[in-house]
Amino acid sequence: MLNKGRSEEELFTFFAETKNEDLDHDYIFSSMCTIPHSVAVRAHCMFMETNLGDPGLFPGTTALEKLLIKRFGDLFHCPDAGGYATSGGTESNIQALRLAKALRHDVAKPNVIVPASAHFSFKKACDILCLEIRKAPLTTDHRMDADRAAELIDKNTVALVGVAGTTEYGMVDPIADLAKIACQHDLFFHVDAAFGGMVIPFLNRPIPFDFTLRGVTTIAVDPHKMGMSTIPAGCLITRDKEILNTLNIDTPYLTVKQEYTLGGTRPGAPVAAALAVMDYLGVEGMKAVVAGCMKNTERLIAGMETIGIPRAATPDVNVATFVCEERRIPAPWKVSWTCRKHLRIVCMPHVHADRIEAFLRDIGDFNA
């Protein structure tokens, strides 16, 4: 630490200069996060000192967390759903598997089945929880092969996982088929909708992925991705309101005597921010945002194909992938690459139509 403090002006000049090194969102085509909505920023600032880890001190903020969970319960067709606000998809996925394991403490060598496309947070979860991870292969359309997944189930399987909106190719796994399999085997079924949970419900033709499917036990959804909240904002939603109590541990000196969350001290600010965006935009507003992102995704795919860069997949959500070599992308565009070396672009709300056109012009000129 510095021995003597710096002046506020000096400090913030330094911060401003350093922040300048961060990339400009105008060129960020690789991220699943976006510029937070203005109401999110306002709400975040209002709740800066709140700590959901000690709810008795912040009953108002705690009520907002409950309301956020209620909003997702309604959106996912289970008005009585339970859940809590996490730090994001990683925590939600860890906690879902922790819950699945706790519910089957009779199993000595537990395993979980995830699609080969699952986000790397499942690897972390399985490491921490000492679970064997079994990866089900995908079909040629980059979706989890439900039949092959079923073949991997044995008496030690404690959870099945499907992804609604995959990180790399923006696909929705056959959640309805997987839910049926989960019912047949009486399995805990977790849907990772960290990205798709705030896209799919607002599509013109929504794909079934939520609690309307009887087998779905829990859903991860991240307001800090398509929910345009501030970071960190995730939610783990449970069909059964009480099920998370399975994870309760004693917290003797807090205002509540037990907790099931992974984090202890938990920020109320991004929770208020997430709720702010949802209540400000409503379903109609979110539909407009998602329609814009989907339109931009389609335009990008069409534009790239005109230049001679074919799509790698036809996505269900706003993630576009292409068969393209890295050397064909001019600076300073920041794109990403899948494990299979496909170009990947996420058409987030900050990736406006004019940015797509600028990118297409640039890549067209660069490769002319």
The footprint of ligand 0PR (CB under 6 A) covers 31-33, 88-90, 93, 119, 121, 163, 167, 192, 194-195, 222, 234
Q: Which is nearer to ligand 0PR, 88 or 227 (CB)?
A: 88
Q: Which is nearer to ligand 0PR, 233 or 294 (CB)?
A: 233
Q: Could you please report the per-residue DSSP string of 1-17?
A: --SSPPPHHHHHHHHHH
CB half-sphere exposure, 265, CA atoms < 13 A: 3
Q: Which is nearer to ligand 0PR, 93 or 111 (CB)?
A: 93
With contact defined as beta carbons under 8 Å apart, do 121 and 89 qualify? yes
Min dist. Cβ of residue 288 to ligand 0PR (A): 23
With contact defined as beta carbons under 8 Å apart, do 81 and 239 qualify? yes
CA angle, 19 then 30 then 267, to 5°: 60
Please state, in angstroms and rounded to a whole number, the distance separating the CA atoms of residues 120 and 55. Answer: 31
User: Residue 184 class from Cβ within 10 Å (0-12 exposed, 13-18 middle, 19+ buried)?
Assistant: exposed
What are the φ/ψ torsions at residue 320 (nearest 5 degrees)?
A: -110, 135
Q: Which is nearer to ligand 0PR, 54 or 167 (CB)?
A: 167
Q: Which is nearer to ligand 0PR, 37 or 119 (CB)?
A: 119
What are the φ/ψ torsions at residue 217 (nearest 5 degrees)?
A: -95, -50
Tell me which DSSP letter residue 230 carries: P
In DSSP terms, 260 is beta-bridged to: none
Min dist. Cβ of residue 121 to ligand 0PR (A): 5
CA angle, 79 then 80 then 86, to 5°: 95
Min dist. Cβ of residue 356 to ligand 0PR (A): 18
Min dist. Cβ of residue 88 to ligand 0PR (A): 3
In DSSP terms, 250 is beta-bridged to: 258
Q: Which is nearer to ligand 0PR, 167 or 318 (CB)?
A: 167
Would the CA dihedral through 40, 191, 201, 66 be positive or negative? negative
Q: Which is nearer to ligand 0PR, 165 or 268 (CB)?
A: 165
Q: Which is nearer to ligand 0PR, 58 or 165 (CB)?
A: 165
CA dihedral in degrees (114, 120, 124, 130; nearest 10)? 30
Min dist. Cβ of residue 197 to ligand 0PR (A): 9
Tokens for 75, please give them. 């959106």
Q: Which helix (H) or strand (E) holds 288?
A: helix 269-307
Q: Which is nearer to ligand 0PR, 62 or 90 (CB)?
A: 90
Min dist. Cβ of residue 161 to ligand 0PR (A): 10
Min dist. Cβ of residue 244 to ligand 0PR (A): 19
Min dist. Cβ of residue 132 to ligand 0PR (A): 20
Parallel, antiparallel, or unpaired: how do β-strands 249-250 and 258-259 relate? Answer: antiparallel
Please state, in angstroms and rounded to a whole number, the distance separating the CA atoms of residues 265 and 222. Answer: 19
Min dist. Cβ of residue 101 to ligand 0PR (A): 19
Q: Which is nearer to ligand 0PR, 25 or 77 (CB)?
A: 25
Three-state secondary structure call for residue 304:
helix
Min dist. Cβ of residue 110 to ligand 0PR (A): 21
